Structure 1
């Protein structure tokens, strides 16, 4: 890491060829593509120096790259399946010292929570290589991981397991003997068992319902505003309750 203030770069990964819901990141909710909601919310983060979209070299992802460019977000294009190399390339392009990993199927991502995870790594003493939001206690769809560029480059150079090439950070968090891993950040209260990421049509239905209700009243809403709304409309949580999260952890 360079001396002085580290350069913090958020890299969001997106592609059109999702297996369960192809083209999901450009599907619309409340009049805008999900990707536009996602990138717009990340632009409110205070602890980021840059935001980059990492997509593939496939022609099918030209619309993803075009939308990001229209929104003023730099784009890096790399391998579809070797996402680790794609992140390493994006981090190098952006001159990152610290990398924030998020995924574009999270249109409700919370900028304040992203800032908290970044601060947890930057302010750690002794220093950390990796810290994340606790996805077992926060709603899925707020996920954020923060790690040093050095750890990313080491993973990109050494990872051989195909799952570690695809899932970017697995090479890091699977090796507590090699990397300094921070305790995952947890909410103050009880765990919240909700799905706010988009993998299935029913996930999209829920996101459209939430954005349609929240944006007119509070365009800069946070994750707890979503919780309050679902408390007021408990039947909404049933919209995507049958969907199961795929996970490597």
Structure 2
């Protein structure tokens, strides 16, 4: 009797999306869905998780042990995937091997059985699809034991040790049987592996849609996904832009520098996270984020992050940086521009491209590009890019607007709105519900005991809350323009020193939000907004107009691509 072994390769150290195998999909870790799908394969006799013996991957080992899944962590070279798999194959002694990438939670049981049956009948080394067949299937490799031995012997270079099957692409050694697909999966081409934040958003939305209408013990049908992609271009667009990294290609690396804090807020850090994801997804550029912050490190799923508690340590890292691309997002009131200029001398001398974000005009002589995500600047230098098209937002959910007021005072409530405004809003006694968002670094607002204000602390679904609110009361900063971009009727709280008078006057002239003079004025205008639909509609219409040509992160990526090409 023959034995077929399924090996799932997974490590949490992904440079593009660290920890991805344990990210939740429909309430379970992503890798759990792979096992549920393997359990439905009639041709697979046993399965094992192939990971490495190090502290970073211990959570994956712990998960396997909790689920009673076989896992013997590999203690050899963490980058030698072929050796890691062969160690298991030697112990398990199978006749046939199915290799599964641990980031493909849409593997199809029907196709797996179809492929294994064909391989077993053929007596050959491996399978391949017949010529000209297009398919959605990803992350699967099928081998006989003899085929595996041939592949292992041929896998001599570094890349072929790291990537299963790469040696056979360099110099074909396997005798393959050509098979048809198990279904019609060729009407659309789309990536279904999870390698970036955009891929994860796509997969999370796909799983959400399926389990909205199907039982929890079912598995997401790949045929259904195929139809969803054909019928809904918006679903496909979530990760359609992601660049598939080639195993044999060297990609540039970037260093992204920023700061955060109670006085500074979270905006610089969140923006840098967004840029890091975009560089990976659009250009294949791996990023390391360097953050100046004297508090406890924040949790994040983005690129590799280094935290610095002192300005000196961050500037030292910057001056020693050898990457070909550096992006900086600092507010010059909280770090001396002269110190940044000094730290950038060495990177500039070895040819690094230097890109500043937003308020770094004091560095204009040093920078190669200054990207300002704002509709306004007084600068005229040809290194400067600005405009409504430049605002850097994450993808906007398509939520239906509800009659509710959302209050956004920023990540740290730097202007202290939480001390007086909650009581003033409570006294208005509005019919509409009010939700106050408390940022992760903000003090708790002074909400009266019997107030109609609902407090929500650092919500993970803030994008959805913004998208669903018809009226938004916000501080000046990214949240203001996110509110306008969402199509809400937006009311700006008194910005005090956060914006100069000329910029504020230009904003008023755009008529896309109401600019308040004081908290009393803000409350009066909020009452008018809630009472008059025509006033809300006028603001919503103008918000669509100002962002009609918005390109956002795509604009920045194109400018970086052009800058790097001019090297």
Q: After superposition, what is the alpha-carbon deviation per residue over 1:66-102, rounded to whole angstroms, capped at 9, x for unaligned? A: 1122222211322321100111111122221110011
Shift in CA distance, 159/229, structure 1 to aligned 2, threshold 3 Å? closer
Question: Are the aligned partners of 1:133 and 1:145 in contact in 2 as well (CA < 8 Å)?
Answer: no
Q: After superposition, what is the alpha-carbon deviation per residue over 1:118-177, rounded to whole angstroms, capped at 9, x for unaligned? A: 1120111xx21011468982225x33111022332343345311111111222345444x
* Distance (whole Å) between structure 2 residues aligned to residue 189 and residue 68 of structure 1: 32
Counterpart in 1 of 2:234? Answer: 235
Q: After superposition, what is the alpha-carbon deviation per residue over 1:9-46, rounded to whole angstroms, capped at 9, x for unaligned? A: 01010001001111111111211111111111111111
Q: 1:91 aligns with which of 68, 76, 89?
A: 89
Question: Are the aligned partners of 2:128 and 2:176 in contact in 1 as well (CA < 8 Å)?
Answer: no
Q: 2:36 aligns with which of 34, 40, 44?
A: 40
Shift in CA distance, 207/188, structure 1 to aligned 2, threshold 3 Å? closer
Shift in CA distance, 23/221, structure 1 to aligned 2, threshold 3 Å? closer
Say which one has the larger Rg.
2
Structure 1 residue 213, shift from structure 2 partner: 1.2
Counterpart in 1 of 2:222? Answer: 223
Shift in CA distance, 157/89, structure 1 to aligned 2, threshold 3 Å? same
Question: Which secondary structure does the structure 1 equivalent of 2:178 belong to?
Answer: coil
The TM-score with structure 1 as length reference comes to 0.88
Counterpart in 2 of 1:13? Answer: 9
Question: Are the aligned partners of 1:133 and 1:144 in contact in 2 as well (CA < 8 Å)?
Answer: no
Structure 1 residue 216, shift from structure 2 partner: 4.1
Query: Structure 1 runs of 4+ off > 4 angstroms?
Result: 132-136
Q: 2:160 aligns with which of 164, 172, 177?
A: 164
* Alignment of 1:151 onto 2:134: no
Counterpart in 2 of 1:27? Answer: 23
What are structure 2's unaligned runs of at least 5 residues? 249-567
* Alignment of 1:70 onto 2:60: no
Question: Are the aligned partners of 1:46 and 1:115 in contact in 2 as well (CA < 8 Å)?
Answer: yes
Aligned residues: 241
What are structure 1's unaligned runs of at least 5 residues? none
Q: Aligned-pair RMSD on alpha carbons? A: 2.3
Shift in CA distance, 107/133, structure 1 to aligned 2, threshold 3 Å? farther
* Distance (whole Å) between structure 2 residues aligned to residue 52 and residue 41 of structure 1: 14
Q: 2:52 aligns with which of 53, 56, 66?
A: 56
If asked which structure has higher relative contact order (CA below 8 Å, sep 6+), I would say: 1
Counterpart in 2 of 1:139? Answer: 136
Counterpart in 1 of 2:109? Answer: 111
Q: 1:210 aligns with which of 206, 212, 218?
A: 206
Q: After superposition, what is the alpha-carbon deviation per residue over 1:198-238, rounded to whole angstroms, capped at 9, x for unaligned? A: 01101100111111111243323321011222334321110
The TM-score with structure 2 as length reference comes to 0.40
* Distance (whole Å) between structure 2 residues aligned to residue 163 and residue 54 of structure 1: 18
